Amino acid sequence: MEEKGLLLTGGKVYKGGNFEELDLLVKGGVITGLDKRISPEPHWEVVDVTGKIVCPGFVDIHCHLRTPGQEYKEDIKTGTMAAVRGGFTRVFTMANTEPVIDELEIVESLLERIKNEAHCHVEVIGAVTKGLKGKELVDFEKLAPKVIAFSDDGKGIQRGEIMGQGLKRCKGLGKIIISHCEFEGELPESEKEWRMVERDINLAKFWDASIHIAHVSTRESVKIIEKAKEKGVKVTAEACPHHFLLTKAEILNCGTNGKVNPPLKGERDRKKVLEGVKRGIIDCLATDHAPHSQREKNLPFKYAAMGMVGLETAVPLTLNLVNIGAIKLERVIEAFGEKPYEIFGISGGKIEEGFKGNLTVLDLEKEFVIDKDQFFSKGRNTPFNGWKGKGDVYMTIVDGKIKYRGAEENVY
């Protein structure tokens, strides 16, 4: 019996930085055909995507699936259901779990669960320091073959000598540290991020190591990253939609759902972060998807948990910016669908014959209304509830299999 194929017809395929009207065939999980017209076989599944945009599968390089140990907030199944609904074919899950992902046995156990429970590809990020305490480095050599990168996300590594040694060892293993840049202590709130961005970039320069700056939120950080890139430092960075769509003024309306780490900043910062994304100074877009229970959010602001969900909102919110002319579609596709593969050494990020059939199909004409009660995620902590716009995910395809079909709002 001949293998069943999936044929997408009539779409605008993003290929080599351009859009081409091509049919696309996936068989055996691999792209096997790209042509102006591919005649379907009777046993193929044919999907008409005329007018839609077919992209390399989007990747969220920064999310929290809360597994192991915090499954009341999220688990692998619900988190990856949210991911494919949001257009992501691959996500990176952070190490600040219970227990922390800092030992080989924990990584291997998590990978086994991912294999059995996930709706999309999931990469594991290992901790930089044991218990995220910032004092003792993990066994990088043991963990490196099993993890995509290392990060103490949720906490900045306060001691420069610890970060420096981590960068040195990761360089030798071909791995990247994703840095949560935040100094603790007496510094003014406006300086806590950029001063650590500056320190960590200088350390990366000294060791000639690669470093990735997480969730950039200040204009000073953008300027430092730009200058470092001009000097040839191996630095990349990401930004999240909430940091270029919201300011701290919005907290008056959204309350604790606007409490995130790093905190929302002012209008000048918001504009500079968006400019950094538009110009490619900030390489990637990420969600920092951080689900919490209602109990943890329904507290006085000082005591409420920090973070918001983002897997199901990041792509439509960003596409709405495309529709109003605030950012180019090509830059969005590059930030979600090309740069993550390139930076972290993952096979993919291109639509060519022989590449895996991981694809995100966009509908720029589809109107959306964000409704937290319809999320597949367990988390409901979003400041974007009720937001409207145009541009959404039409379909998410993982290894040639349709995992989300927006016309029916179904995850498979």
pLDDT tens-digit profile of 82-137?
Answer: 999 999 999 999 999 999 999 999 999 999 999 999 999 999 999 999 999 999 99
Q: In the annotation, is 373 catalytic?
A: no
The whole-number average pLDDT for the span 281-302 is 98
The whole-number average pLDDT for the span 164-192 is 97
Integer CA distances (angstroms), 316 to 58, 65, 384, in order: 13, 21, 11
Choose among 223, 206, 215, 222: nearest CA to 240. 215
pLDDT at 1: 47
Is cis: bond before 145, omega within 30 of 0? no
Cα-Cα-Cα-Cα torsion 46, 50, 56, 59, nearest 10 degrees, comes to -100
User: Structure tokens of 25?
Assistant: 């065939």
Q: What is the pLDDT of residues 130-162, one digit of tens each?
A: 999 999 999 999 999 999 999 999 999 999 999
Q: What is the pLDDT of residues 245-260, one digit of tens each?
A: 999 999 999 999 999 9
Q: What is the mean pLDDT of the chain?
A: 97
pLDDT at 4: 87
Among 288, 363, 373, 399, the one annotated catalytic: 288
Residue 27 phi, psi dihedral angles, 5° rounding: -135, 140
Residue whose tokens read 């001009």: 230
* Rounded distance between C-alpha atoms, residue 128 and residue 177, angstroms: 8
The whole-number average pLDDT for the span 220-238 is 98
Distance of CA 79 to the CA centre of its chain: 13
* Rounded distance between C-alpha atoms, residue 246 and residue 243, angstroms: 6
Predicted confidence (pLDDT) at residue 35 exceeds the cutoff of 80: yes
User: Structure tokens of 223?
Assistant: 């300027």
DSSP 152: -
pLDDT at 411: 85
* Rounded distance between C-alpha atoms, residue 340 and residue 362, angstroms: 18
Contact 331, 318 (CB under 8 A): no
* Rounded distance between C-alpha atoms, residue 51 and residue 64, angstroms: 34
pLDDT at 2: 58
Q: Domains, the chain, ranges and CATH? A: 5-54+354-411 (2.30.40.10), 57-344 (3.20.20.140)
Residue 277 phi, psi dihedral angles, 5° rounding: -65, -50
pTM score above 0.85? yes
* Rounded distance between C-alpha atoms, residue 303 and residue 286, angstroms: 26
How would residue 410 be classed by pLDDT, with cut points 50, 70 and 90?
A: confident
* Rounded distance between C-alpha atoms, residue 364 and residue 34, angstroms: 22
Share of the chain above pLDDT 90, in %: 97
Predicted confidence (pLDDT) at residue 55 exceeds the cutoff of 90: yes
pLDDT at 108: 98
Residue 356 phi, psi dihedral angles, 5° rounding: -60, 145
The whole-number average pLDDT for the span 319-346 is 98
Neighbours of 407 (CB within 10 A): 10
